Structure 1
Amino acid sequence: MTSALALLIILSAYLFGSISSAVLICRVFALDDPRLRGSGNPGATNVYRLGGALPAALTLLFDVLKGMLPVWLAYFLGLPPITLGFVAIAACLGHIYPLFFRFRGGKGVATALGAMFPVALPMTLMLILTWVFVFLVTRVSSLAALITVGLSPLYAYLVKPQYTVPACMLAALIIWRHRSNIQRLWRGTETGFR
C-alpha cells in the first residue's frame, strides 16, 4: 500500500509540476510567451524581464508551491526521506519537462526550493540567503542558483542529515538543467541584471 501511495504521489507531483506558472501568468498579464522572449526560460527571472515585479512574484510563488505541496503531503503521510526526494524530483521534472506545455519548461530552481520547505525550514532559509547574497554580489541569477544548489547537500547534512541524499539528487538535476548557463558562465557571456 505504501509503495502504491508513493507512486501515486510521485505521479501527481509530476503532473502538478507540469502546470507552467510562467506561461499562464504571462497570458493573464497579456505578456509575451516567456519561452519565446527574453532568455527563453519560463521562470520568474525571465517573467521579471518581460513584465516586472508582480508577474514575477506570482510566478515565483506558484513555482515554489509546485514543489512544496507534493513534498508536504508525502512528509505528512510519513513517507521516508528517499521517497520525498523522488517526489521533489518528480515535481521538478514536471516543471522542467511539462506534459501540458510541450515539454518546454524552466530550470526548476524555485520548485526545488519549495520542496525543501516542508522538511527543513532552517535549510530553506540558508538556501534563500545564499541565493540573495550571491545574486547581490554578482547580479547573475544563474550563478546564484548554481552556487545555492551546489551547497544544498552540505546544508542538508548540517541541518537534517537524513535528507542529504535527496538534496544531492535535486542538486544534480538542477545543475544538469543549467548546463547551457554553465557554458555561458565559462565563456563570460552569461547575462545578468544591472
Structure 2
Amino acid sequence: MTTILFLIIAYLLGSIPSGLWIGKYFFHKNLRDFGSGNTGSTNTFRVLGKKAGIAVFAIDMLKGTIATALPIMFGLHTFSPALFGLCAIFGHTFSIFDHFHGGKGVATSLGMILGYNPKFMIFVVIIFLVMVYLTSMVSMSSIVSGIIAFLATLIFPALHFIFTNYDWLFTFVILFITCFIICKHRDNIARIRNKTENIFNFGLNITHQKHNI
C-alpha cells in the first residue's frame, strides 16, 4: 500500500505543469496558444524567454529527481527507484492538472536519471550537448541521447563503467522513455526529414535545417 501511495505521489509531482502556470501567472500567456503549443521548457524558451525557460527546465527536471528519490528517502526497496521516476514522467506528459496534456518528458527524464545515478546523468548530458552543437536541434539531440542512454545501460554494466551491475527495470524504463520520446517527437522527425525543423542559432546544423528560432 505504501508503494502505491508513493507511486501516486510521484505521478502528482510530475503533473505540476510548470510551463503552463509560469506562462499564465507571470506572463499572462497560455503556452498552448504559442509556438509548438507544448508546455515544456523548449517552447517556454521560444515564447517566454531564457529566464522562464531555465526555470521551467529546472522545475521539470527536479520533479523527476524528487520522485526517483522518494523510495530511497523513505527506505522502500520493493522496486527500482526508476519506476517512481517513470510515474513522474507520465505525470509530466499526461498532467492531471492540464487535462492530461503536458510536455515531451525530456527534462523530467533527465531528472529521473539524476535521482537514480548522477554519473550516468552527466554522461547523458554530455551526449546531449554534443548533439546540440552538431545538429542545432533539441529534438534530434533528445532522440539520439535517449538511444545512446539505452545502449549504455546494456553495455556499461558489463564493463563496470558507471554501473557495477544490471538493473533490468532501469534498462526497461530507459527503453520505454526513449520510445516515448521518439513517439512524442513524430512531428519533429517529419520536419527534420523536410529540412524545416526549428533550430537554434548555435552549432553546426549538420542536417541543414532552415528554420531558426
Per the normalisation by structure 1, the TM-score is 0.90
Contact preservation (8 Å) 1:31, 1:51: no
Q: Which one of the candidate residues 3, 6, 11 is aligned to 2:8?
A: 11
More deviation, 25-34/86-95: 25-34
Between the aligned partners of 2:179 and 2:9, the Cα distance in structure 1 is: 22
Shift in Å at residue 132 of structure 1?
1.1
Which residue of structure 1 aligns with residue 108 of structure 2?
111
Shift in Å at residue 63 of structure 1?
0.1
Between the aligned partners of 1:127 and 1:31, the Cα distance in structure 2 is: 34
- CA shift in 2, pair 1:83/1:119, >3 Å: closer
Between the aligned partners of 2:188 and 2:147, the Cα distance in structure 1 is: 14
Per the normalisation by structure 2, the TM-score is 0.82
What's the Cα RMSD here? Answer: 1.7
Which residue of structure 1 aligns with residue 90 of structure 2?
93
Aligned runs of 1:1-194 on 2, under 5 Å?
Answer: 4-76=1-73, 77-80=75-78, 83-157=80-154, 158=156, 159-160=162-163, 161-162=166-167, 163-194=170-201
Amino acid corresponding to residue 89 of structure 2 in structure 1:
C
- CA shift in 2, pair 1:151/1:75, >3 Å: farther
Between the aligned partners of 1:31 and 1:175, the Cα distance in structure 2 is: 31
Say which structure is richer in helix: 1
Aligned length: 190
Amino acid corresponding to residue 99 of structure 1 in structure 2:
I
Structure 2 residue ranges without an equivalent (≥5): 157-161, 202-213
Between the aligned partners of 1:165 and 1:96, the Cα distance in structure 2 is: 18
Shift in Å at residue 124 of structure 1?
0.1
Between the aligned partners of 1:9 and 1:170, the Cα distance in structure 2 is: 20
Contact preservation (8 Å) 2:81, 2:116: no
For CA contacts below 8 A with separation 6 or more, give which structure has more relative contact order.
Answer: 1
Give me the identity figure in percent.
Answer: 28
Between the aligned partners of 1:22 and 1:132, the Cα distance in structure 2 is: 22
Q: Please tell me whether Structure 1 or Structure 2 has the larger radius of gyration of its CA atoms.
A: 2
Between the aligned partners of 2:171 and 2:25, the Cα distance in structure 1 is: 39
User: Deviations 1:36-93 (Å, cap 9, x if unpaired)?
Assistant: 101111111111111221111110010001111010112332435x543332221111
